[in-house]
Amino acid sequence: MASGETSTEYKDKQGGGAGQPLTKSENNDGKKTLTNGMSRVHRVMTDEEIAQGRQTRWTELEIHGKVKNLSPAVWQLTHLSALFLNNNQLSRLPPEIAQLTNLTMLDISNNKLRSLPTELGDMISLCHLYLNHNQLRVLPYELGKLFRIQTLGLQGNPLSPEISKIYHETNGAHKILQFLLDHLTINTHPPPERNWVMIRHADPERPIATFTVLCYNVLCDKYATVNQYSYCPSWALNWEYRKSLIIKEIRTYEADVITLQEVETEQYRTLFLPELKTLGYTGIFAPKTRAKTMGEEERKYVDGCAIFWKVDKFDMDRQQVFEFSSVAMKKASTSENMLNRVMPRDNIALCAVLKIKENVYANRRMTIPANDNVVGNPLVVCTAHIHWDPEFCDVKLVQTMMLAHEVSRILEDVSKKYMITQQQVPVLICGDLNSLPDSGVFEYLSKGQITRRHLDLKSFREDSCLEKFTNSSDKNVISHPLRLDSACDLQSIPFTNYTLDFRGMIDYIFATPQSLARLGILGPFDPQWVATNKILGFPHPHVPSDHIPIMAQYAIIPTTHQRQPPPPQQTGHPPAGVIGSGYPAPTQHSFLR
């Protein structure tokens, strides 16, 4: 970031501001030359264009002439991208200037300003702000929110010693803004509690086994940088601050099963496992594949996935880690696409086969018919963190195919051990899939198959290696045997990830509707709180991760009450039935209302 005296854009040779046309004369090219040598191109409309009613289009405005007051009409010019108010006699800048939301350049140099409106901090499109040669001693802390600023001019102001010292340091303009942001008082109240949305009720006259599951990407410390989240005060990005809010959030919901992503190895050992043990949980963890190549100290900071469960409701039968790079090597090491695109990514999934205990029944005093008793039956829980890069939608989809394939292999063993069919085993697949509901990843999981011609597959469309991950004889599709419904859709949860540049649903809880009946979900984050407080993105002092947790409650359907799952819809058809599903709604079970 440059100070106003050293910027290469809009620079005035006398250091007074951004510069302005030397004269109103025009050369043959229709250019106005600025004092810094830059040119501003413009053209006067012809009489013919005016007669045709053609409208002018201009996005920059200069106001000069020892002006003391500005017309309120200026603040209605919301299309402006540059405003030059330098070399006037302004002693006050109205707060209405914040209505010019498209401004990237603002020059108020050489005026008589003693203070600035706090609303200036809401003009987050600003890249160049010149305040040179005014009478400013202090700056509003709200200026720290201008995280896009590249040039900040403060020369020639009687700045307070503290601000002046920071400004004249190396990279002082950037340090000033960080100082202001870090000292900005957070006056916003915490967001309101999220509502629980009931979808259907269990019959209280019957013993029903129920449990809740939570999925949460906690944003590990090494990814929570000021560069990545420049709109968040640095103290609110600090792990020591965020970790207490994350634990508080987990405690608030106290789900029976918790799946977490971006958990650092050392933080699992020293924070998550000890904290959750005090609440009656135990858990398992697996770091990303790169941990294998690192020394002991470096391994502490590798993030991975974790699963926790209430020990009074579940025992663990077995666990399994799916390393997608290893699966690629074993299954398709001769494929160039696999070698070049999938194998270098070290994403993983973690799977736990749990055994159900008596406490899943809320009312244990009721007599449970032997055929309806699910105690001792398995529950397969899987969590995954799929590759993040939008340019690698093919990698995301192939990793998801591997995930479904590996879960299916687990189900083969589970079904034999518990003497039930694979379709009767209740399965949860939770995680940060880094994919929107219109993606190939979501279509593949929810519909059970995807066409080989899907655009997300890119060069894999012609790659025979994908045949290793399908259970269909139809060579035009890649399919999996699981029947999965998403717990949430965009109507119920508009976003699970909210940052400056992106907001959308990318975290999911998928479940097998034949064996798990969805009873309710945790409702959306309050959009009114976000809008009213002008929240640019998460993390925020009240929101410790760039993701929000999602949560659902399920009833475990005894095998005697399960219905045969319907076949998948043909790919390309709109989803139907259960929320987020590519399958018709299952038959209403007798023990559910």
- What DSSP assignment string belongs to 29-45? T-EEEBTTS-EEE--PP
Q: What angle do CA 257, 260, 264 make, to 5 degrees?
A: 140
**What gap in Å lies between CA 108 and CA 96, rounded to an integer?**
15
Name the residue with tokens 């900040």.
Answer: 152
Contacts of 14 (CB under 8 A, 6+ apart): none
Asked if 308 and 276 count as a contact pair (C-beta separation under 8 A), the reply is yes
Longest dimension (CA), the chain: 95
- The number of CA neighbours under 13 Å toward the Cβ of 146 is 32
**What gap in Å lies between CA 493 and CA 574, rounded to an integer?**
19
Quick check: is 432 catalytic? Answer: yes
- Alpha helices in 238-391, H assignment, sequence order: 239-253, 265-267, 273-277, 296-299, 324-332, 336-337
Consecutive H or E run containing 527: helix 527-532
With 0-12 / 13-18 / 19 or more C-beta atoms within 10 angstroms meaning exposed / middle / buried, residue 108 is: buried
3-state helix, strand, coil in the chain (%, to 5): 30, 20, 50
Asked if 426 and 380 count as a contact pair (C-beta separation under 8 A), the reply is yes
Per-position b or e across 498-520, b if 16+ CB within 10 A of its CB:
bbbeebbbbbbbbbbbbbbbbbb
Per-position b or e across 417-448, b if 16+ CB within 10 A of its CB:
ebebebbbbbbbbbbbbbbebebbbbbbbbbb
- The structure tokens listed for 289 are 């594949």
- Alpha helices in 333-422, H assignment, sequence order: 336-337, 393-418
Q: 37: closest CA among 62, 8, 58? A: 8
Strand boundaries in 178-242, DSSP class E: 196-198, 210-217
Name the residue with tokens 């399994």.
Answer: 320
Catalytic residue among 256, 394, 432, 507: 432
Residue 206 vs residues 25, 255, 355, 366, 559: alpha-carbon distances, Å: 88, 23, 22, 8, 16
- Tell me the catalytic residues: 432
